[in-house]
Structure formats: C-alpha cells, structure tokens
Structure 1
Amino acid sequence: KHRGWLFASFLAMYLVNVAGNSVIIAAIRGDTRLHTPMYFFLSNLSLVDICFTNVIVPRMLANMLGKSKKIPFAQCLTQMYFFVTCAITDSFLLAAMAIDRYMAICNPLHYTTTMSPQHCLLLVAVSWVLSHLHSLTHTLLMARLSFCGPNVIHHFFCDVQPLLTLSCSDTSINELLAFTEGSFVIMSPFILIIVSYVYITRAVLRVPSGGGRYKVFSTCGSHLTV
C-alpha cells in the first residue's frame, strides 16, 4: 500500500519535472525574443535537469514496483557516471549564468561582444567536457576496485560514496581524488558565483533609484536562489 502511494507520488513529480523543463526549452527555442545568453543557459540547465531526472528516477520507480532490486555492476557504473556528469554540469552552467549577469550589470558596454553566441556556446561546451572528464576519471577508478559482498547499496541509486563503502579494495586513491579534484570542481563554480554577486551587489547599490535597484535584484534573485 505505502509502496503504491510512493510510486504514484514520485511518478507525478517525475512527469511534472520532465514536462516543465521541456516546456521551458520549447518556449525559449520558439520565441526569438528569448534568444539571449541568459535564456540560452537556462534552456541548457533545463536539459541537464531532464537528464539528471532520467538517470535516477525511472530505475527507482522500477525498484518500487518490482520484487528484484538488483542492478548489474556495469549499469551501476553507468548510472554513477551520468549522475556525476549531470551534477557537475549543473554547477558549471549556474556559474556561466553568474558570469552573464556580472557582464550585463557591471560591464554593460562590453556585454554584446563578451557574451556573443560563440562565447556562450563555448561556455556550455566547456561545462559538458569538464564534467565528462571528471566523471570518467571517477568511474574508471571505481571500475578497478573489487567488491567481495554483500553488495547491498543502502541508497536509491549508485552514487560514489555508497559504492566506495562496499569495496574490499584500497580506496585511498578514490578518496584522495574526491577530496582534492572533486572539491575543486564543486567549489570553483560556487566561489565564482559568490564573487560575481559581490560585484553585482556593489554595482546595484550605486544605482540611485530604488526602482532600478529592484529591477536588477528581481532579475538576479531567482538565479542566486538556485
């Protein structure tokens, strides 16, 4: 009974997520007025969110209904690979959006040339490439480990840390990489966003009219909240 309610709830949220992000992408592609850097990054963020959801939720829903909750090791690594890729791409895209807001507010005269379509496309491409390289490194290091059993993941999908706790091999290299390179990849977009908004806030506070300040903060508020 409880499993049925959980399945229905998560299925509804899954469908709303996919439908909502699909509508955002379609609206941005279909309206030429939205062909700006900010909306370009937003459409890519929606695409990543769809991929993110599809990596985890369908398998989780199948586990809720099915009696067998087994997942082959190759599928587990594949799920982990794409989960990490989507998570890191998400962070990089939010950082790219922060750069866009910084240029629009703090350097408006150079905005058109700096945030040209080519540069925006390059930022998105770099976000995907770095995320795939990061994920591939962790996946290859995970694949070399031995798992002696019992191979039960106390988690609803294959994540890095739950898999490391199951290994009977030496995981020091994996943990060192997660602590060093992983921390850098996660923290660098966060620091970039914070620094960008420090400069944006300073610029906004110099705006003489309250209406102007409100307009800028309302434009950036939703992004900063995310």
Structure 2
Amino acid sequence: MNHSIITEFIILGFTQNAELQEILFLVFLFFFIYLVAFLGNMLIVIAIIYNNTLHTPMYVFLLALAIVDSICTKSIIPEILGTMLTPGNTISYGSCMSQLFFFTWSLGAEMVLFTTMAYDRYIAICFPLHYSTIMNLCMCVALLSTVMVITVTNSWVHTGLILRLTFCGPNTIDHFFCEILPLLALPCSPVRINEVMVYIGDITLATGDSTFTSEDKQKAFSTCSSHLAVVSLYYSPVIYTYIRPASSYTFEKDKEIAAFYVHVTPALNPIV
C-alpha cells in the first residue's frame, strides 16, 4: 500500500543496441513493411468496393480482413518507429491500455475472420448447389456481426483483466508496444487468471478454423491452399506466443516472433 501507482510505462523498443546503422536499418525495414502492408491492403479494399463482380461473400470477407490488417499495422508500426528514433519512449497508462485493446481486437478479428472464410469455403466445396442460398446477404451480415461481438468481447475481457492488476513497481515494458505478456511481467498482484484466459482465448479462437478447413480434406487442401498458407503463417507464431505462461516469456526472442505476426503477416496477406 506504500507503493505509488504507475501512471506511465517506458517502452524499450525492438532493440537496445545504440549503433546508428542497425537502428536505421530497422527503421527503413519496418517503414517498408508498413508501406507494403498498407498499400497492398488498400488496393484490395479499393478493388473489391469498386468492382461489382467482386461483391460476393468470399471477397466481402477478404475486404474485412484487409481492413483489419490495415488497422493492426496502423496502430502498431508508427509506435515502433517512434520508439526506435527516441529510445526510452514513454506511454501513459491510458494510452497503453487503449493500444492493448485495439491490438487484441485486431489479433482476434483476424483469427475469427479466418474461421469465417473457412466456413465460406467449406460451404462452397461441400454444398456447391446450395451455396448461393446459404451464403446470402443476411448470412454474411450475421457472420460479420458475430466476428465483431466475439472479438470485442475477447478484447474487453483481456483489457479488463489487465486493468484490475496493480502496477506499483517496475514500469519498463521490454517490448515495442503494449503487449499482454510483457505487461503481465510487471504487476504487483497475481496474474494467474490473466494467463489462463489468454490460453483459453487463444485455443478457442484457433480451433474453429481447422474444424471447417479439415472437412472434405482432399477438396479443401487443393482448393484452399492460399487460405491454408495464410492461416499457417499467422497461427503458428500466435499460438507459440500465447499458450505459454508469462514466467516462460523470453523477451528478445519473442519480440522477433511478435514482429512477424504483427507486421510481416499483414504485408504477406495481400500477396498470398
């Protein structure tokens, strides 16, 4: 009770190496990835909106995925560039919680959208004659609304559980943005419930996609190779990161893995 409550955090950034050459390389690398991700996803958005022949369920879900990817890169990469150019960058408690909410929302939205897209392909492959009847406008709206409800709820749960923790000691986040696991290494109060909910949320959001994709395997794997490639690129590092307790979190290695699913995957999605 004698400790003061934390009002701001210090973001260490991606690297603590002070050599200018390495810092500039990372700055240009992330800026390039940001441009590729942003322009690639914006091209998809424009193409789908202005091309009437692409106003079908499959492309509507691709449109939603492109928007989510854009929000994810927009909310994270500028912050990384800021921490690289100004080491020891601080972020207020409120801003950190806000960034955490939007990041967990975009992370969850991408995973649930993959499941929705897998369901769409499952209906197209296994019930081709009934596809247009099943995947009508009402079904698309219902699926996208479900995505929003699930992902907003997921974000509120994780953010709310972080808000209930007491930060009264260290305030240095060994990461390049406000991530769940680095934050769980800082509180003075127990984090067991947070770890359990992270594990449950990750497993729950990840299992739906494999359920529909594995149906009618021979057709699915030949027809949905691009979907499977994107899912593999995204799910592998996310599951590796979030199914472990905070006590086993290795900051330097896991920052590289986080950079992959936060930055590289959104840039690769439009290409795939």
TM range (shorter): 0.7 to 0.9
How far apart are 1:193 and its partner, in Å?
Answer: 2.5
- Structure 2 partner of 1:123: 143
Rounded to whole Å, the distance in 1 between the matches of 2:157 and 2:137 is: 30
Instruction: Indicate conservation of the 8 Å contact 1:41/1:97, yes or no.
Output: yes
> AA paired with 2:207?
I
Rounded to whole Å, the distance in 2 between the matches of 1:163 and 1:128 is: 25
Instruction: Indicate conservation of the 8 Å contact 1:155/1:162, yes or no.
Output: yes
Q: Structure 1's 147 and 188: CA in aligned 2 closer, same or farther, altered over 3 A?
A: closer
- Structure 1 partner of 2:35: 15
RMSD: 1.7
C-alpha distance after superposition, 1:138-183 (max 9, x if no partner): 1112112111222111111111111111001122222232233x2x
Q: For 1:28, what is the secondary structure of its paired residue?
A: helix
Q: For 1:148, what is the secondary structure of its paired residue?
A: coil
Q: For 2:188, what is the secondary structure of its paired residue?
A: coil
Instruction: Indicate conservation of the 8 Å contact 2:102/2:155, yes or no.
Output: yes
Out of 143-152 and 191-200, give the one that drifted further. 191-200
Q: Structure 1's 142 and 190: CA in aligned 2 closer, same or farther, altered over 3 A?
A: closer
The partner residue of 1:45 within 43, 65, 73 is 65
The partner residue of 1:150 within 170, 179, 191 is 170
Q: For 1:70, what is the secondary structure of its paired residue?
A: strand
Instruction: Indicate conservation of the 8 Å contact 1:21/1:46, yes or no.
Output: yes
Q: For 1:199, what is the secondary structure of its paired residue?
A: coil
The partner residue of 1:83 within 88, 103, 128 is 103
Q: Structure 1's 200 and 140: CA in aligned 2 closer, same or farther, altered over 3 A?
A: same
Q: For 1:71, what is the secondary structure of its paired residue?
A: strand
Q: For 2:166, what is the secondary structure of its paired residue?
A: coil
TM-score scaled by length of structure 1: 0.87
> AA paired with 1:190?
A
Out of 167-176 and 156-165, give the one that drifted further. 167-176
Rounded to whole Å, the distance in 1 between the matches of 2:206 and 2:199 is: 16
Out of 153-162 and 41-50, give the one that drifted further. 153-162
Q: Structure 1's 149 and 129: CA in aligned 2 closer, same or farther, altered over 3 A?
A: same
Instruction: Indicate conservation of the 8 Å contact 1:28/1:35, yes or no.
Output: yes
User: Structure 2 matches for 1:108-187, cutoff 5 A?
Assistant: 108-180=128-200, 182=201, 186-187=202-203
Greater helix share, structure number: 1
- Structure 2 partner of 1:34: 54
How far apart are 1:6 and its partner, in Å?
Answer: 1.4
Gaps of 5+ in 2: 1-19, 231-272
> AA paired with 1:88?
G
Rounded to whole Å, the distance in 1 between the matches of 2:126 and 2:52 is: 25
Instruction: Indicate conservation of the 8 Å contact 1:94/1:189, yes or no.
Output: no
- State how many pairs are aligned: 210
The question of 1:73 aligning with 2:93 is answered yes
- Structure 2 partner of 1:208: none
Out of 143-152 and 103-112, give the one that drifted further. 143-152
Instruction: Indicate conservation of the 8 Å contact 1:80/1:139, yes or no.
Output: yes
Instruction: Indicate conservation of the 8 Å contact 2:80/2:176, yes or no.
Output: yes
Rounded to whole Å, the distance in 1 between the matches of 2:114 and 2:197 is: 23
Instruction: Indicate conservation of the 8 Å contact 2:119/2:213, yes or no.
Output: no
- Structure 2 partner of 1:221: 225
TM-score scaled by length of structure 2: 0.73
Which one scores higher on RCO, CA 8 angstroms, separation ≥ 6?
2
